[in-house]
Structure 1
Amino acid sequence: MSGAHATLLNRLAAAIVALHPGRIIRVAIDGVDGAGKTTLADAVAPLVAAQGRPTIRASVDDFHQPRALRYARGRHSPDGFYLDSYDYDSFRTLLLDPLSQGGSGRYAAKRFDLDNDRPFDLVMQQAEPASALIIDGIFLHRSGLRSYWDLSIFLKVDFEISVPRGAQRGPSSDVADAASNQRYVDGQKRYLGECDPERRADIVIGYNDLRGPIILKWVGSAHPSS
Structure 2
Amino acid sequence: MKVRPVSFDVLVAELADRIADLGSSRLRVLIDAAPAANPAALADALVDPLRLRGRAVVRVSAKDFLRPASLRFEHGRTDPDSYFEDWLDVNGLAREVLDPVEPGGTGRVLPSLWNAETDRASRASYVDVPESGIVLLDGGLLLGRWLPFELTVHLDMSPAALRRRTPADDHWTLPAFDRYRAEAEPATVADVVVKMDDPHHPALIEP
On whether the aligned pair clears a TM of 0.5, the verdict is yes
Superposed, 1:177-196 pairs within 5 Å as 181-182=171-172, 184-196=173-185
How far 1:94 sits from its partner (Å)? 0.6
Superposed, 1:34-183 pairs within 5 Å as 34-145=36-147, 148-167=148-167, 172-173=168-169, 181-182=171-172
SS state at 2:100 partner: coil
Aligned residue pair count: 203
SS state at 1:57 partner: strand
- For residues 107 and 205 of structure 1, the distance between their equivalents in structure 2, rounded to whole angstroms, comes to 28
**1:215 partner amino acid:** L
How far 1:188 sits from its partner (Å)? 1.7
> Between the two proteins, what is the percent identity of the paired residues?
27
- Tell me which residue corresponds to 1:222: none
- Tell me which residue corresponds to 1:221: none
Kept after mapping to 1: 8 A contact 2:67/2:89: yes
Question: Normalising to structure 2: TM-score of the pair?
Answer: 0.91
**1:149 partner amino acid:** F
Gaps of 5+ in 1: 174-179, 219-226
- For residues 111 and 143 of structure 1, the distance between their equivalents in structure 2, rounded to whole angstroms, comes to 19
How far 1:163 sits from its partner (Å)? 4.5
- For residues 38 and 84 of structure 1, the distance between their equivalents in structure 2, rounded to whole angstroms, comes to 21
SS state at 2:54 partner: coil
SS state at 2:183 partner: helix
Matched, 1:214 2:194: no
- For residues 91 and 135 of structure 1, the distance between their equivalents in structure 2, rounded to whole angstroms, comes to 10
- For residues 165 and 47 of structure 2, the distance between their equivalents in structure 1, rounded to whole angstroms, comes to 22
Gaps of 5+ in 2: 1-5
Provide closer, same or farther for how the CA distance between residues 42 and 166 of structure 1 changes in structure 2, counting only shifts above 3 A: farther
Question: Normalising to structure 1: TM-score of the pair?
Answer: 0.84
- Tell me which residue corresponds to 2:22: 19
How far 1:34 sits from its partner (Å)? 1.0
Kept after mapping to 2: 8 A contact 1:98/1:107: yes
- Tell me which residue corresponds to 1:223: none
Q: CA RMSD in A?
A: 1.8
